[in-house]
Amino acid sequence: MTLLRSTLFFIAILAAAPVTPSFAQTAPQIEPFSLPVRPVVLSQDIIKRFLYSFAPVGAQMKEEAAGNTATPEATARLDKKAAEYGFKDFNDWGETTRTIMVTYHWLTNPDPREEVEKAIAAIPSTPNLSDKQKADMIDGLKTGLETVEKARPSAENMAIVKKHLSSIKPLYKQWTNL
């Protein structure tokens, strides 16, 4: 059931969320379950830098978010923190994070279609929803599934991330709970 919930949540967020990070009223953030705009071609070096950078860049993100304003200074501090770990800037770090996390999700949940089909089959018997709400949920799941299937990572990225599953797992849990 947990796998089903996480997969459905992943698909629902992808269907509803933009594919870029939110820069609205707060400092730049990396939205959980967002897809990379341009997936990064991963390497052992990139994974290593990501693993070492996740906590410090995440701490900088929280510090900037506490200020509740997106300023050039906040963005510059995030860019500087990401650059300390060999990333071009915060956006480069964000694209790498999204690439790694989506790849991790695919490796640990390799058949989203099966999970979505189970969820779709359960919707008609869901109490307290109108027929329109049920139809909207089904349409949303189908749209989300299409988005997820198009976002399947490359075999090369999957092979590299697979070598680091145990190291990425706790970071993935943090990312999904942002």
> What is the SS3 string spanning the chain?
CHHHHHHHHHHHHHHHCCCCCCCCCCCCCCCCCCCCCCCCCCCHHHHHHHHHHHHHHHHHHHHHHHCCCCCHHHHHHHHHHHHCCCCCCHHHHHHHHHHHHHHHHHHHCCCHHHHHHHHHHHHHHCCCCCHHHHHHHHHHHHHHHHHHHHCCCCHHHHHHHHCCHHHHHHHHHHHHCC
For residue 48, what pLDDT is reported? 97
For residue 82, what pLDDT is reported? 97
| Residue 167 falls inside a structural domain | yes
| Residue 62 falls inside a structural domain | yes
| Residue 87 falls inside a structural domain | yes
Per-residue pLDDT of the chain (178 residues; tens, 9 = 90+): 444 445 444 444 444 343 333 333 334 455 655 788 889 999 999 999 999 999 999 899 888 888 777 788 988 999 999 999 999 999 999 999 999 999 998 999 888 888 888 889 999 998 898 999 999 999 999 988 888 788 889 999 999 999 999 999 999 888 777 5
| Residue 33 falls inside a structural domain | no
| Residue 132 falls inside a structural domain | yes
For residue 107, what pLDDT is reported? 94
> 159 is in which domain, residue-wise?
2-12+42-176
| Residue 29 falls inside a structural domain | no
Q: Please give the tally of structural domains in the chain.
A: 1
